[in-house]
Amino acid sequence: MNGVLKRRLLFVVGPFTGLVMFASVVMIATYLTNREYKEPYRAPAAIVDTTPRVEGLAAETAAAEATAKATPYAEAEYRTFPIVGSRVAIWAVAQLHLLFAAFVLAVPLFAFIIEVIGYKTKDSRYDRLAYEFTKLLSTSFSLTATFGAFLTFMLIALYPKFTNYLMSVFSPTFLPYVLLFFLEAFFLYTYYYGWGKFHPLVHIGLGLGLNLVGTAIMFIANAWLTFMMSPRGISDQGAVLSVWDAVWNHTWMPINVHRVIANIAFGGSVAAAYAAFKFLQAETDEERAHYDWMGYIGNFVAISAFLPLPFAGYWLAKEIYAYSQTLGLTMMGGAFSWLFIIQAVLIGNLFLAANYYLWLGMGRVEGMQPLQKFIKFLLIGIAVCFAVWATPRSIIATVSELRAMGGSTHPILGYLGVMSAKNTAVNILILTTFMSFLLYRRTGKVATVSWAKTGHAAQLTIFAAAAIIVVFLGIYGYFVEATVRIGLSVPQVSSVLAAMVSITAIDVFLFRGASRTGEVRWGKIPAISQYVLIFIAVTFTWLMGLMGYVRSGLRQHWHVYGVIRDTSVDAFTPTLGFATRVVSVTVLLFFLLIGFVFWITTLHDRPDFEQTKTRRREGSGEVSPEFAVGTAGEHRRTS
Amino acid sequence: MTIPHTVRVGVLVVAATSFYTYVGQMVPQKEVLPPQETQIRADLTTADMVKVGREIMDGKGLCFTCHTIGKTGALRFPDLEGVDTRAQSRVPGLTDIEYFAQSIYEPEKFIVPGFNPGMPVINKPPIGLNDQEILCVIAYLQTLGGKPTVTLQTSHAYYKAPGAPGGPPASGVTAEQGAAPGGAPPAPPGSAPLPAPGKPPAPVTPPGAPGTPPASPAAAPAPVAPAKGTR
């Protein structure tokens, strides 16, 4: 029964299903056919009549073309860089160019000096050290030139009118600049690739040429940028009266001096960071000893240059004030005054880190215990000076706090926020760091000259006298008129400089032929010291970025101060928070690129691929190539 | 697990940079805009001029970058509290208006004792106030210890008002800042040419002109100021 029913059902459902399926196929086919692209119907072209609309459109196109052809040339004043804007783009590129340029100018300076020391002492370690520093130059030089070209094109593209004006003023300097640049390339590559290939004196001559040409290039470029800040040699309307006066403007020479010193400090710190990086990667005691020594020399160069840097800064600030009180006051008392609190934090960190490194370094030398007891006093001195220097004149406070203080100036701390206190603090800071150096220098040595006791007493007296003069004048500054107070910084600075020079001079003779209580054990220093060196390099770089900003930003809404006004959308002075963010980004970019330079330099020392394969096959132990004799990258002078 | 040195160095670089960025965010944040051009209508009253003058001193004039009002102690530049009282007798032969004008147009001519020279020429870039703006500043300065009397028709040694004897014909138009090839408009109509350096013109204030102070008893050139001094 069931079977019969099923069969009947199949008879009924079967045709019905067939019909449904057929209908579905037809519907799908119809749907797909409708979706097929069909050429729309168009009347044959020959029979189309032109309509008034078509004629109108054609006339419009023709008129637009004619207008475009007849448009006269008009110079754009500004163009916009996408996303970050023109100012930030120029800022970052200029900063990167300057950082690499500073490095490329500084390293040959101390490489040259170290090479001369090596030649004079016949100590091949110095020669090798100088070469090691020079190895960093080749790639850095290319990057400097690339960023220089990038900056020039960016200026032409983004600030055409202003760039045109600068070109009209300084066009006579361009040809010498380019020629010097060629010479720089010649000297640099001959100096580098000619290491050990010439007579030592010829090579030293090449180094001297490299330094002279590099300094001349920087002086020319400095003329352009200092003219923007303190223009001279032009009429009230900006016409050029004397190119030489435009070059030798008020801030040119102070900037030249300031930059030479700052470049050495910066270059030394980056070279020390390279040594620190290599120290951390070193696998043998010999490597560690070498890079510890290299880091020490780099840091020594950096701090030696850093100590007189504030004095060059004073001179620059003095010239800025002499050129325009408005400019000077904008710097120290106006929009940029808080920037100097940030600067104080940076410089305080530099002093602390540099001293910490020196104190750690004393551990390398046996018999340093007698001097260790002085360190805590130095640390207290540095900490107090740092705190005074970083004290702002006016405190950020809530309304109730302001009421309680009776104004934005703290009733007690406010006295530390003025120049009298800050000048005193920075001078004592310099003296203290100098004493650290001196202690480090005499670690493990005992003076044997007959007048040793008198010499020590004289040094101590000079140091104490300088400190007393600085503190006395600092306090005296609170009780005199502004005219007198401003002048007090000169004797303060002079007494510190005189103390540094005279104490060093005595020290040189005092420790001539000194007996040693212990040898310097290079490489025997905690790894943290190497991170300190890297921290110093980062801080120096950041400081350069910040001070570059204040030098440039000081002009505020002027391209050329008082002559060419900035009418772009970026004419305002940004907040310090924004400025520091830009500085940080450029610093990180710089370290990314300098990491690339380090890596390239390391590649240079690695053995060739084939050599490595052979060694691996032979199962030889890992030996760093630069410490193995006769491997690739070995260019040591044989004399 | 030992962290590779490269990573540690990278972290140190980023951390140090971040710390300094943080310090940069902690200080007061102020964006400084370029000074706004002040539109000075020809019909400004003295009271209006006082208000405009104060605005100019706060902004475009940059006066308070150096000067203070009501501050005592060791100051780098003269405090302006009660300055009009002093201005009336500071330089023999100069009225307060003449004295203020001289301070602004030729600031090196007289330096207040106890201070160093340092004030820029205010009618030239980078500050570059025009003659009308300077009149407004003088109006405000007069309120500091005195009563404002200056009007836009007031002439002084460095400026002849339109319509005044020797001045340009009167026109209702006032001016913008003059100056530089960077795009600022040229010197305004109505501004008199500046005297040759070192050769100040004689005061030309028309006696009895509306709003002008009484004629100075000594119309002769001011005596030579001491070499050092303050304003």
Over residues B94-118, the pLDDT tens digits come to 999 999 999 999 998 999 988 888 8
Task: Quote the crossing angle between the two packed helices A528-553 and A252-281, to the nearest 10°.
Answer: 160
Task: Assess whether pLDDT exceeds 70 at residue A24.
Answer: yes
Mean pLDDT, residues B48-54: 95
How close, in Å, is residue A574 to chain B by CA atoms? 5
Query: Among A28-42, A611-625, B173-187, which is the least confidently predicted range?
Result: B173-187
pLDDT 10s digits, A129-163? 899 889 989 889 999 999 999 999 999 999 999 99
The position carrying tokens 């996408």 is A82
Q: What is the pLDDT of residue B188?
A: 39
pLDDT 10s digits, A234-276? 998 889 999 999 999 999 999 999 999 999 999 999 999 999 9
Question: In chain B, what is the straight-line distance between the N-terminal and C-terminal CA atoms, in Å?
Answer: 71
Which tokens sit at A101? 């340029």
Centroid of chain to Cα A363: 31
- d(CA A337, CA A316) in angstroms, rounded, equals 16
Task: Assess whether pLDDT exceeds 90 at residue B226.
Answer: no
**Cα-based angle B72, B76, B82 (whole degrees, multiple of 5):** 45
- d(CA A276, CA A266) in angstroms, rounded, equals 15
Q: Which residues contact B41 (CB under 8 A, 6 or more apart)?
A: B174
Under a CB-based contact definition with an 8 Å cutoff, are residues A129 and A193 in contact? Answer: no
Residue A625 β-bridge partners? none
- d(CA A568, CA A86) in angstroms, rounded, equals 9
Q: What is the pLDDT of residue B202?
A: 38
Centroid of chain to Cα A490: 29
Collapse the DSSP code of A74 into the 3-class scheme (helix H, G, I; strand E, B; otherwise coil) and give the result.
coil
Would you say the pTM of this structure is higher than 0.90? no
Tell me the residue length of chain B.
231
Mean pLDDT, residues A343-368: 86
Q: Establish, for the pair of chains A and B, how many residue pairs have beta carbons separated by less than 8 Å.
A: 159
The position carrying tokens 């203290």 is A432
- d(CA A48, CA A50) in angstroms, rounded, equals 6
> Greatest CA span in chain A, whole angstroms?
137
3-state percent helix, strand, coil for chain A, nearest multiple of 5 = 75, 0, 25
Provide φ and ψ at A564, rounded to 5°: -110, 115
- d(CA A353, CA A441) in angstroms, rounded, equals 17
- Kindly tell me the sign of the dihedral angle through the C-alpha atoms of A590, A594, A596, A597: positive
pLDDT 10s digits, A383-420? 898 888 888 776 666 777 767 766 667 777 777 877 88
Minimal CA–CA distance to A481: which of B114, B228, B227, B110?
B114
* Pairing relationship of beta strands A558-560 and A564-565 according to DSSP bridges: antiparallel
**If you compute the radius of gyration of chain A from its CA atoms, what whole number of angstroms results?**
35
Q: What is the pLDDT of residue A623?
A: 45
Task: Tell whether A225 is within 8 A of chain B (Cβ).
Answer: no
> Greatest CA span in chain B, whole angstroms?
93
- d(CA B53, CA B122) in angstroms, rounded, equals 14
Closest in A333, A486, A565 to B180, CB measured: A565
Contact B17 A588 (CB under 8 A): yes
Percent of chain A at pLDDT > 90 equals 51
Contact A588 B13 (CB under 8 A): yes
pLDDT band at A566 (very low <50, low <70, confident <90, very high): very high
Task: Assess whether pLDDT exceeds 50 at residue A634.
Answer: no
Give kind and range of the element (H or E) at residue A515: strand A515-516
| ipTM of the complex, rounded to two decimals | 0.80
pLDDT 10s digits, B8-24? 999 999 999 999 999 99
Task: Identify the residue with better confidence: A483 or A311.
Answer: A311
Which tokens sit at B168? 């340009």
Contact A321 B17 (CB under 8 A): no
Mean pLDDT, residues B162-171: 63
Provide φ and ψ at A446, rounded to 5°: -130, 125
Q: What is the pLDDT of residue B156?
A: 93
Q: What is the pLDDT of residue B220?
A: 33
B134 to B67, B86, B122, B185: CA distances (angstroms): 16, 19, 8, 17
Give kind and range of the element (H or E) at residue A43: none
Identify the top-confidence range among A122-126, A152-156, B64-68: A152-156
Q: What is the pLDDT of residue B211?
A: 37
Centroid of chain to Cα A161: 28
Contact B116 A486 (CB under 8 A): yes
Q: What is the pLDDT of residue B221?
A: 35
- Kindly tell me the sign of the dihedral angle through the C-alpha atoms of A296, A297, A299, A304: positive
Give kind and range of the element (H or E) at residue A31: helix A2-35
Percent of chain B at pLDDT > 70 equals 70
The alpha carbon torsion through A489, A490, A493, A499 (nearest 10 deg) reads -130
pLDDT band at A5 (very low <50, low <70, confident <90, very high): low
Restricting to A residues 150-179, those with a Cβ less than 8 Å away from any Cβ of B are 165
- Chain B residues near residue A482 by CB distance under 8 angstroms: 74-77, 114-116
- d(CA A119, CA A129) in angstroms, rounded, equals 12
- d(CA A281, CA A334) in angstroms, rounded, equals 47
- d(CA A173, CA A156) in angstroms, rounded, equals 17
- Chain A residues near residue B11 by CB distance under 8 angstroms: none
- Chain A residues near residue B183 by CB distance under 8 angstroms: 77, 565, 567
Contact B14 A478 (CB under 8 A): no
In eight-state DSSP terms, residue A573 is: B
* Pairing relationship of beta strands A515-516 and A445-446 according to DSSP bridges: antiparallel
How close, in Å, is residue B156 to chain A by CA atoms? 24
* Pairing relationship of beta strands A515-516 and A564-565 according to DSSP bridges: unpaired
The position carrying tokens 């580098």 is A192
Residue to substitute from A326, A408, A569, interface B, most B β-carbons within 10 A? A326
pLDDT band at B191 (very low <50, low <70, confident <90, very high): very low
Residue of A nearest to B124 (CA): A562
Task: Assess whether pLDDT exceeds 50 at residue A34.
Answer: yes
Beta strand residue intervals within A391-463, DSSP E: 445-446
Query: Residue B209: is it exposed, middle or buried by C-beta count within 10 angstroms (0-12/13-18/19+)?
Result: middle
Collapse the DSSP code of A448 into the 3-class scheme (helix H, G, I; strand E, B; otherwise coil) and give the result.
coil
Provide φ and ψ at A637, rounded to 5°: -65, 135
Residue to substitute from A277, A565, A567, A570, interface B, most B β-carbons within 10 A? A565
